Amino acid sequence: MATNKGSLKGKRILITCGPTWVAIDPVRVFSNISTGALGQTLAKKLSSLGTRITLLEGPVVQPLKHREIRIRKFRFFSELQELLKAELLSGQFVGLLHTAAVADFQLPQKKSQKMDSTRSVRLKLVPTEKLINSIRRLAPKIFLVGFKLEPGLNRTKALRAAKELFKKAKCNLVVANSVTNKSYNAWIIRDDRILAQAHSRSQLAQKLIQQLKKNL
């Protein structure tokens, strides 16, 4: 494994991206509106620098196709959970960019039969496991970048939103971002300090790569 600081060439980085599904019944799922665009952008830009990328990609509308990137697909929360565990336990990665929009809720148990669509249904949801909080246990030395998406963030709110990821997941960096129809804003944060701000996914990818070069 390459160890030269300032260069990402030859280093292995794991990226997660896209939405995750959780099953309701045999034909229905809960999902979210993540496009996976940020993770795909990071994967392509890092690969162009010679970084060896493995991308765990959820059920996105436009899947990434790239000869130099190892892509492993998942759809459901449980599939991402298993893939993430297997890749991290391999011990081959120096960094993890956890951009995937992981499902926050699930049913205690999937309905075994398709629900009758002519009747009203009340579903009980319970929280899913926070996958990012298990990463340090699986890969104690990995450089972990967590992502926090919330509407209406400003600098102060971004710092506040990042605190939980530093405390519980022991992230090295956190990206807090906010997306509306008219704007994209993101802040790269270490502890209680903003290192950089970006106004597009491409700009964020470039600034985050600068931070990775300094730390890997």
pLDDT of residue 21: 97
Res 210 pLDDT > 60 = yes
Share of the chain above pLDDT 90, in %: 87
pLDDT of residue 4: 67
> Does residue 136 form part of some domain?
yes
Q: How confident is residue 216, by pLDDT bands cut at 50, 70 and 90?
A: very high
Give the per-residue SS3 of the chain. CCCCCCCCCCCEEEEEECECEEEEECCEEECCCCCCHHHHHHHHHHHHCCCEEEEEECCCCCCCCCCCCEEEECCEHHHHHHHHHHHHHCCCCCEEEECCECCCEECCCCCCCCCCCCCCCCCCCEECCCHHHHHHHHCCCCEEEEEEECCCCCHHHHHHHHHHHHHHHCCCEEEEEEECCCCEEEEEEECCEEEEEECCHHHHHHHHHHHHHHHC
Share of the chain above pLDDT 70, in %: 98
Q: Apex CA 52: angle with CA 171 and CA 2, to 5°?
A: 80
> Does residue 1 form part of some domain?
no
What are the pLDDT digits (tens) for 118-150? Answer: 999 899 999 999 999 999 999 999 999 999 999
> Does residue 64 form part of some domain?
yes
Structural domain of 207: 12-103+124-215
26 backbone dihedrals φ, ψ, rounded to 5°: -60, -15
Over residues 178-193, the mean pLDDT reads 90
What are the pLDDT digits (tens) for 32-70? Answer: 999 999 999 999 999 999 999 999 999 999 999 999 999
Over residues 162-169, the mean pLDDT reads 94
Residues contacting residue 99 through CB under 8 Å, at least 6 positions apart: 15, 16, 17, 36, 38, 39, 42, 147
> Does residue 20 form part of some domain?
yes
> Does residue 199 form part of some domain?
yes
Q: How many domains does the chain have?
A: 1
What are the pLDDT digits (tens) for 86-112? Answer: 999 999 999 999 999 999 999 998 889
> Does residue 109 form part of some domain?
no
> Does residue 116 form part of some domain?
no
Res 2 pLDDT > 60 = no
Rounded to two decimals, the pTM is 0.94
Q: How far apart are CA 177 and CA 153, in angstroms?
A: 7
What's the whole-number average pLDDT of the chain? Answer: 94
Res 3 pLDDT > 80 = no
pLDDT of residue 179: 84
pLDDT of residue 110: 86
> Does residue 188 form part of some domain?
yes
| Domain containing residue 200: CATH number | 3.40.50.10300
